[in-house]
Structure formats: structure tokens, C-alpha cells
């Protein structure tokens, strides 16, 4: 994950990501999902991850590791740092962004310094005499430059996991004692003194139960996790898929098992709202009291499908297209209720990038 807050001038209040060639919509008009157009979307490759800084800066990255950049006026395609398949993206400001993923069996991390993307170190897991390859699952950054990532040896709830922190030039290992033995799958960062990790551990060797750990003022502490048996370890849906922090006592998580659930932490306890889908793929708060989530890519057919929680679930369709559309990630623009979603659409023998915006 990849959400952060940067002050935004009131002069820019209506300017974000207006589809090229279209006028800004009147503020009284009901918000909806809109297609974003531009020459950048002729570059082949589905967009897999995104990060937003403010109305003038956002990032996305395609399945080949090719970065996209929003400068407040248009999306452009940037030179990457080698071919890889990204799994997550985050940004701390216009001149600080990261993406992680895999090239074959090797973990990859790249960093944006405001001018170029370059590859940076993301070590494997040192278990015994050898360093084993790991898969980065999640990535999150805060405006103060604090960046964390979690990665695992196997699937998302079947095997050991590691925690990595950005030290200013590379990702380094972080020891998290309360999470020993857990399969961590998601991270959310609010700042250097407030970091959340979530995943599952085993209750009896086979059954998955939730685990949540929080860094508070330099100390890692276990947080009471959502209760209950989450099913068999190793099943792809029995996990915390995504995590978001919007305040000191405002944490959102999405889990995907037996219908799924939207989890909310209020500083004292977790509450859960059942969801109409088994497999949820990404989560972002909506800037109010609710949240957006998406099903597994491909669920929408020729138009994307979103689920919006506002005390009840509403299915919301995206723009209609001529071919199969898949949305892979979504992120709220800090300081607004606007949400960016990225994915791809079928086009002959390839897939082209898609960006949609809710505004």
C-alpha cells in the first residue's frame, strides 16, 4: 500500500486528473468513475499498482516494470530500471516513490528520486546458511519518508515472512519479535512512530488466525487481532489482503475468506462488515467514513466493478468498454475523496493500460 498526505492548495481543488479533452465537471454533479485518456495509454502492459501524493502527483507501474507519472496535467511513461513484475507501489512525495516486485525468483525494488527510476537493494531471507528468494507482498510510505515492506517465502499465508525498511538508500531487514512465525501480508505506514503489520499465524498447525502488530514510538507491540478461525493455512483467500491507516485509531483492513470482511479498528476493538465477495484485491479509504474495495481482476467484464462501503455495500460500475477490463489496484488521492484505479483492457493480442478516476 501507498497512501500519504501532502498539503494541497485550494487553487487546485478541481484540477486533478481531468480526462484529457474533457472539461471539469460541476461540483454539484454526482461523483462517478470516469476513464482517463492520453497517449501514454498506448504503451502495452496492464497497470498493476499505483500511488498518489496529491492532485499534482501520482504514479503507476505496468506488468513489465514500466513506470507512469501524473504531473498535474497528463500521464506520461517514464524510463524504468529494468523489466520485472511489480507487486506494490508507494510514494512519500513528488520526488520519492518506490515499487517492489519480482524478476524470475529474484525480489526487485526501484526508487524514484524526482528525475530517474533506479534499482535499489531488496535482500532475500537469511535462513540458515543460504539467502532464500522472497516475494514482496506489500509496500507503504508516509510523507515523512518512512517506508516499510513485507515479503514472504511462499504464498501469502503459507510460510515465513520478513519485514523490510527503507534506510535512505536501500531496503534493510527489520526484526519484529511479536510477529515471529506469522505470515505477514500487509503493511500500512502513518509515520516513523506508527507502523502497522498484519497477516495470519496458525492456531493448531493447520488453521489460520489473524495477527496484527504495531510499531508505537519505536516499540513493536501485538495488537488484539480480529477473532475467529479463518480457515486452512495455505488457502489463497484466508488472508488479510490489504491494510490502510487514516489516523492514530483509524485502521482499515480487507480480508478474503468465506465471503470476506471489511475490518475496522477504532483504537479499542475491531468490527467487521461482511462483504458480498470472497476474493478482494485492494482497499482504500474513501476520504469520509467509508472505503472502496475491488474484487479479483476480471470480475467486471467489459466495465470495471467497485464495491463502496458507506454503512452498507454498493456495487458501482466503471466506464463501459469494448473488451474485458481488469482493475488491479486503487488508491485515494490524499486530502480528497477522489480515487485512482489502474488496470488493463484487452486489445487484440495485447493488453493496454487503463486508469479510471472517481470524482
Q: Which three cell numbers stand for residue 211?
A: 495477527
Q: Quick check: is 247 in a domain?
A: yes
Q: Quick check: is 1 in a domain?
A: no
Q: Which three cell numbers stand for residue 358?
A: 472517481
In this prediction, residue 23 carries a pLDDT of: 45
Residue 324 in contact with residue 340, Cβ under 8 Å? no
Q: Quick check: is 25 in a domain?
A: no
Q: Is 107 exposed, middle or buried (0-12, 13-18, 19+ CB in 10 A)?
A: buried
pTM of the model as a whole: 0.89
How many separate domains does the chain show? 1
In this prediction, residue 123 carries a pLDDT of: 87
Q: Quick check: is 16 in a domain?
A: no
Provide the CATH number for the domain around residue 325.
2.130.10.10
In this prediction, residue 337 carries a pLDDT of: 96
Query: How would you label 310-329 residue by residue, b for 16+ Cβ within 10 Å and e otherwise?
Result: eeebeeeebbebeebbbbbb
Q: Quick check: is 22 in a domain?
A: no
- In order along its 359 residues, the chain shows pLDDT tens digits of 443 333 333 323 334 444 444 444 445 689 999 999 999 999 999 999 999 999 999 999 999 999 999 999 999 999 999 999 999 999 999 999 999 999 998 999 999 999 999 999 998 776 566 667 789 999 999 999 999 999 998 666 677 789 999 999 999 999 999 988 888 999 999 999 999 999 988 877 788 888 999 999 899 999 998 877 777 777 766 788 899 999 888 999 998 755 578 999 999 999 988 887 656 789 999 999 999 999 877 666 889 999 999 999 999 999 999 899 999 999 999 999 999 999 999 988 899 999 999 99
Q: Is 328 helix (H, G, I), strand (E, B) or coil?
A: strand
* CA-based R_g, the chain, Å: 19
Q: What's the domain range around 266?
A: 30-358
| DSSP calls for 59-126 | EEEETTS-EEEE-SS-EEEPP-SS--EEEEEEEEETTEEEEEEEETTEEEEEEE-SS-EEEE----EE
Amino acid at each position: 500500500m501507498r497512501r500519504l498526505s501532502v498539503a494541497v492548495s485550494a487553487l487546485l481543488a478541481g484540477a486533478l486528473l481531468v480526462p484529457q479533452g474533457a472539461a471539469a465537471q460541476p461540483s454539484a454533479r454526482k461523483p462517478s468513475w470516469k476513464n482517463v485518456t492520453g497517449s501514454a495509454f498506448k504503451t502495452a502492459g496492464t497497470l498493476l499498482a499505483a500511488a498518489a501524493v496529491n492532485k499534482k502527483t501520482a504514479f503507476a507501474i505496468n506488468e513489465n516494470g514500466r513506470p507512469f507519472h501524473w504531473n498535474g496535467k497528463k500521464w506520461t511513461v517514464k524510463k524504468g530500471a529494468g523489466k520485472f513484475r511489480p507487486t506494490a507501489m508507494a510514494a512519500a512525495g513528488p520526488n520519492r516513490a518506490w515499487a517492489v516486485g519480482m524478476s524470475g525468483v529474484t525480489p526487485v525494488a526501484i526508487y524514484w528520486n524526482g528525475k530517474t527510476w533506479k534499482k535499489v537493494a531488496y535482500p532475500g531471507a537469511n535462513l540458515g546458511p543460504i539467502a532464500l528468494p522472497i516475494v514482496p507482498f506489500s509496500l507503504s510510505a508516509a510523507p515523512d519518508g518512512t517506508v516499510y515492506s513485507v515479503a514472504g517465502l511462499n504464498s501469502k499465508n503459507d510460510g515465513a515472512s520478513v519485514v523490510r525498511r527503507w534506510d535512505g538508500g536501500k531496503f534493510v531487514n527489520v526484526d519484529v519479535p511479536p510477529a515471529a512465525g506469522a505470515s505477514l501480508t500487509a503493511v500500512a505506514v502513518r509515520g516513523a512512530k506508527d507502523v502497522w503489520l498484519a497477516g495470519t499465524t496458525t492456531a493448531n498447525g493447520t488453521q489460520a488466525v489473524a495477527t496484527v502488530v504495531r510499531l508505537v514510538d519505536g516499540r513493536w507491540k501485538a495488537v488484539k487481532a480480529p477473532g475467529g478461525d479463518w480457515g486452512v493455512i495455505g488457502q489463497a483467500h484466508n488472508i488479510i489482503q490489504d491494510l490502510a491507516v487514516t489516523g492514530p485509531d483509524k485502521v482499515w483492513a480487507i480480508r478474503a475468506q468465506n465471503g470476506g470482511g471489511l475490518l475496522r479498528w477504532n483504537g479499542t476493538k475491531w468490527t467487521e462488515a461482511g462483504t458480498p465477495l470472497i476474493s478482494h484485491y485492494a482497499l482504500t479509504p474513501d476520504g469520509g467514513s467509508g472505503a472502496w474495495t475491488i474484487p479479483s481482476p476480471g470480475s467486471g467484464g467489459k466495465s470495471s466493478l467497485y464495491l463502496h462501503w458507506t454503512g452498507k455495500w454498493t456495487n458501482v460500475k466503471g466506464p463501459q468498454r469494448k473488451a474485458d477490463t481488469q482493475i488491479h489496484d486503487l488508491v485515494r488521492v490524499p486530502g480528497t475523496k477522489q480515487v485512482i484505479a489502474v488496470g488493463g483492457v484487452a486489445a487484440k493480442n495485447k493488453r493496454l493500460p487503463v486508469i479510471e478516476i472517481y470524482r
